[in-house]
Amino acid sequence: MLIHLVPRLLACRANEPECELIDFHCPALGLKLRNGIELMAKRPYPNKHYQVACRKIGQKAMNGILIETTERVREFTAITRWAVGGDRVVNHQVQYFILDDELDAVSEDMTFWYATGDGRWTRRWPEVSSQFSPMEVEPCMELRTRDRKAHSADRLNARGEVLERSEVFQMLTIERGRIEQFATVHNDRMPRIEHAFSASI
């Protein structure tokens, strides 16, 4: 099964502290990926306030990581840690639920879920997310809490800064071909299939 995850942090570069990725941990998949070794944080979007963890290959900023598993998975949790301003560590925990086993890939990038005009790909939005935009519900770590539509809860310090964010994210499976097509044709920021991490489960 091919899994596309986008561990990311949103922090305003003008008025929030410098942030640095520490690591990404997914116990169910047997992965512990460290900044500077297997991963690096880069800024692949036009909005440069976002940092995204990607595989430490080349110089280009990529939109997340790919994981190839030996078996299908239905549920797993990923924890990404970020160092903030040299004085605290924030934890972003996302519990993922895969709602079906019809197809052979998943992505937390909701732009992969849309139907295409040529009829090649059908709509793959779960009912729980059908009324919301990707900006409202895609997993994302932030340093300040705000009103979001996501299934999330924040633990704050005395100054109102986020120390820990826990989220639940539900996905339907998608065709592996969607990811392959975007990686090779439409989006030079998508990680390539051959750069996927391997997970034996």
CA dist 72 → 8, 21, 51, 100 (Å): 25, 28, 29, 10
pLDDT tens-digit series, residues 117-174: 888 899 999 999 988 889 899 999 999 988 888 889 999 999 999 999 999 999 999 9
In terms of average pLDDT, the best of 9-23, 93-107, 124-138 is: 93-107
Residue ranges with strand state E in the chain: 2-5, 8-10, 19-26, 31-34, 39-42, 50-55, 65-69, 75-84, 88-98, 105-107, 141-142, 151-156, 162-171, 197-199
CA distance 78 to 181: 26
**Which two three-digit tokens encode residue 62?**
């990529």
* Residue 10 to residue 184: CA distance in whole angstroms: 27
pLDDT exceeds cutoff 60 at 185? no
| Domain extent listing, the chain | 2-199
Mean pLDDT within 111-120: 89
- Residue 42: strand pairing partners: 52
30-42 residue pLDDT tens: 999 999 999 999 9
- pLDDT of the residue at 121: 92
Q: What is the pTM of this model?
A: 0.95
Compute the half-sphere exposure of residue 149: CA atoms within 13 Å on the CB side of its CA: 11
